[in-house]
Chain A
Amino acid sequence: MSAVQDINFASHGLSARQMAFYRFRRNPLAVIGALIVLSVIFAALLAPWIAPSPESAGSFVDFRNRHSPPSWDNLMGTDNVGRDVLSRVLFGYRISLGLVVGVLGVAVPLGVVLGLMAGYFGGWTETIIMRFTDIMLALPPLAMALAITAVLSPNLINAMIAITLLWWTWHTRLIYRIVKAQMNEDYIEAARVAGASHIHILFRELLPNCVSAVAVKISLDAGFVILFGAALSFLGLGVQPPTPDLGTMVATGSEYLPEMWWQAVMPGLAILYAILGFNLLGDGLRDMLDVEL
């Protein structure tokens, strides 16, 4: 099998990076995903400058203009107090991406380190870490998040903490499995024979072999974190008004369905757009880096 497919193109002057980039470019969906993600990131960063009505992000009210349908003045219409929905969506992306960075910024390093340790040390370390992970995975995530935020008082930071507490487990399992497979390779023993420390083997030998899988997982995760955050906000346990959050907007807008549909549908589509982008990008990265999740 491999003999035919592993024909060595490296000798033609293509580096591994060039070959991976070639695979990525040849995958139109991945490129579309990357463009969507970039547009979301730009929208979030530049919201104060590109939003048609930046004051709509706050507790601004304009009752003369409330419930106006999409028009050239308000591309996504206005909400129940007359704020521009498009502006609020752009600012809403700031909250969503902030949530993604906050959650994954803590959950991924934590999960990766625990996974590396469980796979490498084995024995009791493995039993304790992996059984605890199993217990965490056995809890229904949304119910857990609801319980945590309800106890801690509902706001963005607490929602972030709740999601983080649930999220690291997936990375632990992923890394654990990769490390277990790598432990059979001679380079681990070779490093031991060379006198390498545990820290060296964990972070210099094993971690580089996990990076591509983690990159793909992060990209696929980002969409789910946005969705999860929006779900919490929708239930009133996440971001509180008047801060513009996509989940909260869907919740408030849903009271005016179906006549004034744009108030719920537009933020809903915005969530869909971002998640679609991250998922397409994640799938593209998976093909490009050739990892199994």
Chain B
Amino acid sequence: MTPLLDIHDLCIGFRAYGQHRRILHNVNLHVNEGERVSLIGQSGSGKTVTMRSIIGTLPMPPGQIEQGSITYDGRSLLDLNKRDRNQLKGSGISIVLQDPMLSFNPVLTIGRQMDDIIRFGDIRTGRSRRIQDRHAHMIDTLQKVQLKDGERVLNSYPMMLSGGMRQRVLIAMALLNKPRLLVADEPGTALDVTTQAEILALLNRLVTNEGLSLLLITHNLGVVREMADRVYVMERGHIVETGTRDQIFAAPKHAYTKKLMAAVPPLYGASVKTTHHEGLKPIVTLQSVTKDFETRSGWLNRVSGRFRAVDDVSLTVRQGDIFGIAGESGSGKTTLAKTIMGLIKPSAGEVLIDGRPLDGFAGSQEFRKHIQIVYQNPGSSLNPRRTIAQQLSVPLKFTGSDSAAIGGRIRDLLELVDLPQSYANMYPHELSGGQKQRVAIARALSVNPRILVLDEPTSALDVLVQSTVIDLLHRLRREFDLTYIFISHDLSLMRNFCNRAAIMWRGKVVETGQISEIFDHPSHPYTRALLSAIPVISAEEDALKPSITKEERAAVLATSTQLEDT
């Protein structure tokens, strides 16, 4: 049987700034009819270049196909003329993009954007349909992605839909012209884990029901395990390993695959590392902290409503703790972190740092020597136009160090986070993501704080880089006797990193305690829903995940299939 899609010996190079660089090296990959294939690799491995060469959106120049062929259904894609190739778009090969927000035009209704896809598809294949037929077809397709409220969805603008619904609409758009091969680029990764689970289940069902073939491109091994029959592992433009899903997960052969597997923090089972240590005296205390945000609108910006972001939260973090705060987007965890940092004033309740209330203390020099923060995205938290040394010097300068002392301290700090001294005069864009995050950690440590608030410090990083940053954080904690408040949506990571945790849901803390207690005996249905949705990389972990009934799940999670009545 000839495969539906066959990439043979593909080499792609890029030429820019008078230099040449090969991005793909002799890539061989095929997808059979009805098969689900995953291409896994870290950022920069070449998986996006591979995808774009398949759908024909590789920018050329600077890109250049130097060798090899891509065959779809017996026809060589690289030799087709533009017209024939365009005909395959949507009807032969279709794509589901990663970011459900950026993929829509915000000023057109969903209906208009879907209709365009059908009309242009029809023009390419030389058909014409009446508007009523197209409309019926759109409603049908939305049914397939479980959006029953089709009529209302079509009349909505993208911003009116939730993230999960937008992802569903994107999938529906890919299905409109009845493709045979669906290429999905990181589907659902921009969404919360519970929504992602729904999207993955939907894709799986579509592949079976519609007889599609799926090429899934992702960096998440857990997703691959749930979504693939066969797996390709890509590293720096090379396919380093391929095999059936069970082969790859049960017995990875290549060193890189093994490294990748080992870097994924396990959720359950024997390999989980439990951080056992008891914190000492309380260092951060929250007493019924509540934060309301006012929404303003209309004439003269009057207050039109209130939104409670943090609702009556009481917590105690002890000295030496690695205290996790988990929750999905909108659960209030970042607001809580900013309240602890004194950046947001609580509407009610009190935050005590080392027994002292924040009023009058927050923002002082002494306060800054108590508590510092590391942000999620070092690309945003480092100033792109300032050298590393300049950025590291800021906290020192404003706590009264003189310039001679600052120079010495910067050298110490770079050494502390394992960066070479030569980086002092570089700009952030010359560093990789992991290195940038090390600089951000060094900056937070520069004034010797006792507490670090870590706001999703590794979520922008690849899993291999993540594990090195986590190791660094462990080492620093031991060396300087630090207390961490670790905010994350990644529960697997939290399980292995923290000793205590709190789970937040809609502004409230629904569960708090020892990390092993929360994971082994989750009491709140939301915790169970969250844990059961996490894609894991072994059957053993799957078996240990808490189970949850449909009713319980529906009670705590907003569905991504229906429009809210507003």
> A196 an interface residue at 8 Å Cβ cutoff?
yes
The distance in angstroms between the C-alpha atoms of A38 and B282, with both chains bound, is 68
Q: Which of chain B's residues have a CB closer than 8 A to the CB of A8?
A: 44
Q: Which of chain B's residues have a CB closer than 8 A to the CB of A10?
A: 429-430
The distance in angstroms between the C-alpha atoms of A204 and B397, with both chains bound, is 13
Neighbour of B368 across the interface among A14, A194, A204, CB < 8 A = A194
With A7-B14, A190-B375: A195-B386 Cβ-Cβ less than 8 Å: no
Rounded to whole Å, the gap between the CB of A20 and the closest CB of chain B is: 10
The distance in angstroms between the C-alpha atoms of A196 and B394, with both chains bound, is 7
Contact assessment for A208 and B383 in the assembled complex, using a CB-CB cutoff below 8 Å: yes
The distance in angstroms between the C-alpha atoms of A200 and B397, with both chains bound, is 10
Contact assessment for B399 and A190 in the assembled complex, using a CB-CB cutoff below 8 Å: no
Contact assessment for A194 and B394 in the assembled complex, using a CB-CB cutoff below 8 Å: yes
The distance in angstroms between the C-alpha atoms of A8 and B44, with both chains bound, is 9
> B104 an interface residue at 8 Å Cβ cutoff?
no
Contact assessment for B21 and A12 in the assembled complex, using a CB-CB cutoff below 8 Å: yes
Q: Which of chain A's residues have a CB closer than 8 A to the CB of B341?
A: 193
Interface size for A (C-beta < 8 A) is 32
Neighbour of A193 across the interface among B16, B63, B368, B377, CB < 8 A = B368
The distance in angstroms between the C-alpha atoms of A186 and B373, with both chains bound, is 11
Contact assessment for A185 and B380 in the assembled complex, using a CB-CB cutoff below 8 Å: yes
Contact assessment for B59 and A5 in the assembled complex, using a CB-CB cutoff below 8 Å: yes
State the main secondary structure of chain A at its contact with B.
Answer: helix
Contact assessment for A187 and B381 in the assembled complex, using a CB-CB cutoff below 8 Å: yes
The distance in angstroms between the C-alpha atoms of A14 and B430, with both chains bound, is 10
Contact assessment for B52 and A9 in the assembled complex, using a CB-CB cutoff below 8 Å: no
Q: In this complex, what residue of A is CB-closest to B338?
A: A189
Rounded to whole Å, the gap between the CB of A207 and the closest CB of chain B is: 9
Contact assessment for A195 and B395 in the assembled complex, using a CB-CB cutoff below 8 Å: yes
> B58 an interface residue at 8 Å Cβ cutoff?
yes
Contact assessment for B21 and A3 in the assembled complex, using a CB-CB cutoff below 8 Å: no
The distance in angstroms between the C-alpha atoms of A268 and B384, with both chains bound, is 44
With A5-B59, A9-B17, A16-B427: A186-B375 Cβ-Cβ less than 8 Å: yes
> A191 an interface residue at 8 Å Cβ cutoff?
yes
Q: Which of A177-202 contact B (CB under 8 A)?
A: 185-187, 189-197, 200
With A16-B429, A189-B343, A194-B398: A7-B16 Cβ-Cβ less than 8 Å: yes
> A4 an interface residue at 8 Å Cβ cutoff?
yes
Q: Which of B389-420 contact A (CB under 8 A)?
A: 390, 394-395, 397-399
Q: Which of chain A's residues have a CB closer than 8 A to the CB of B63?
A: 4
The distance in angstroms between the C-alpha atoms of A187 and B390, with both chains bound, is 13
With A9-B21, A12-B19: A3-B43 Cβ-Cβ less than 8 Å: yes
> A60 an interface residue at 8 Å Cβ cutoff?
no
Rounded to whole Å, the gap between the CB of B48 and the closest CB of chain A is: 4
Q: Which of chain B's residues have a CB closer than 8 A to the CB of A9?
A: 16-17, 19, 21
Q: Which of B11-26 contact A (CB under 8 A)?
A: 14, 16-19, 21, 23
Rounded to whole Å, the gap between the CB of B469 and the closest CB of chain A is: 17
Neighbour of B443 across the interface among A18, A190, A197, A200, CB < 8 A = A190
Contact assessment for A14 and B372 in the assembled complex, using a CB-CB cutoff below 8 Å: no
What 1/0 mask marks residues of chain B from 19 to 61 whose CB sits below 8 Å from any chain A CB? 1010100000000000000000001100011001000001100
With A190-B381, A190-B443: A19-B49 Cβ-Cβ less than 8 Å: no
Q: Which of chain B's residues have a CB closer than 8 A to the CB of A59?
A: none
With A14-B17, A194-B443, A195-B395: A211-B381 Cβ-Cβ less than 8 Å: no
The distance in angstroms between the C-alpha atoms of A175 and B386, with both chains bound, is 18
> A39 an interface residue at 8 Å Cβ cutoff?
no
Contact assessment for A22 and B377 in the assembled complex, using a CB-CB cutoff below 8 Å: no
Contact assessment for A191 and B429 in the assembled complex, using a CB-CB cutoff below 8 Å: no
With A3-B48, A5-B59, A16-B429: A193-B380 Cβ-Cβ less than 8 Å: no
Contact assessment for A4 and B49 in the assembled complex, using a CB-CB cutoff below 8 Å: yes
Contact assessment for B383 and A187 in the assembled complex, using a CB-CB cutoff below 8 Å: yes
Q: Which of chain A's residues have a CB closer than 8 A to the CB of B385?
A: 208-209, 211
Q: In this complex, what residue of A is CB-closest to B371?
A: A193
Q: Which of chain B's residues have a CB closer than 8 A to the CB of A197?
A: 398
The distance in angstroms between the C-alpha atoms of A196 and B385, with both chains bound, is 17
Contact assessment for A195 and B381 in the assembled complex, using a CB-CB cutoff below 8 Å: no
With A14-B17, A22-B17: A205-B373 Cβ-Cβ less than 8 Å: no
> B382 an interface residue at 8 Å Cβ cutoff?
yes
Q: Which of chain A's residues have a CB closer than 8 A to the CB of B14?
A: 7
Rounded to whole Å, the gap between the CB of A254 and the closest CB of chain B is: 48
What 1/0 mask marks residues of chain A from 1 to 38 whose CB sits below 8 Å from any chain B CB? 00111011110101110110010000000000000000
Contact assessment for A194 and B395 in the assembled complex, using a CB-CB cutoff below 8 Å: yes
The distance in angstroms between the C-alpha atoms of A63 and B108, with both chains bound, is 72
With A3-B43, A208-B385, A209-B384: A196-B398 Cβ-Cβ less than 8 Å: yes
The distance in angstroms between the C-alpha atoms of A208 and B49, with both chains bound, is 34
The distance in angstroms between the C-alpha atoms of A16 and B384, with both chains bound, is 12
Contact assessment for B48 and A4 in the assembled complex, using a CB-CB cutoff below 8 Å: yes
Rounded to whole Å, the gap between the CB of A38 and the closest CB of chain B is: 25
The distance in angstroms between the C-alpha atoms of A229 and B334, with both chains bound, is 55
Contact assessment for A208 and B48 in the assembled complex, using a CB-CB cutoff below 8 Å: no
Contact assessment for B383 and A195 in the assembled complex, using a CB-CB cutoff below 8 Å: no
Neighbour of A195 across the interface among B343, B365, B377, CB < 8 A = B365
Q: Which of chain B's residues have a CB closer than 8 A to the CB of A185?
A: 380-381
Q: A14-B17, A205-B383 known; 12 other A-B pairs, CB under 8 Å?
A: A3-B48, A4-B48, A9-B17, A12-B21, A16-B429, A190-B440, A194-B398, A195-B368, A195-B395, A200-B397, A200-B398, A211-B385
Chosen A-B contacts, 27 in total, with CB atoms closer than 8 Å, are A4-B48, A4-B49, A4-B58, A4-B63, A8-B44, A9-B19, A19-B17, A22-B18, A185-B381, A186-B381, A189-B343, A190-B443, A192-B343, A193-B368, A194-B368, A194-B395, A195-B363, A195-B399, A197-B398, A200-B394, A200-B397, A204-B390, A205-B386, A208-B385, A209-B384, A209-B385, A211-B385
User: Which residues of A are at the interface with B, using a C-beta cutoff of 8 A?
Assistant: 3-5, 7-10, 12, 14-16, 18-19, 22, 185-187, 189-197, 200, 204-205, 208-209, 211
User: Which residues of B are at the interface with A, using a C-beta cutoff of 8 A?
Assistant: 14, 16-19, 21, 23, 43-44, 48-49, 52, 58-59, 63, 341, 343, 363, 365, 368, 372-373, 375-377, 380-386, 390, 394-395, 397-399, 427, 429-430, 440, 443
**7 closest residue pairs by CB, A with B:** A208-B385, A195-B398, A194-B395, A186-B381, A3-B48, A186-B380, A187-B383
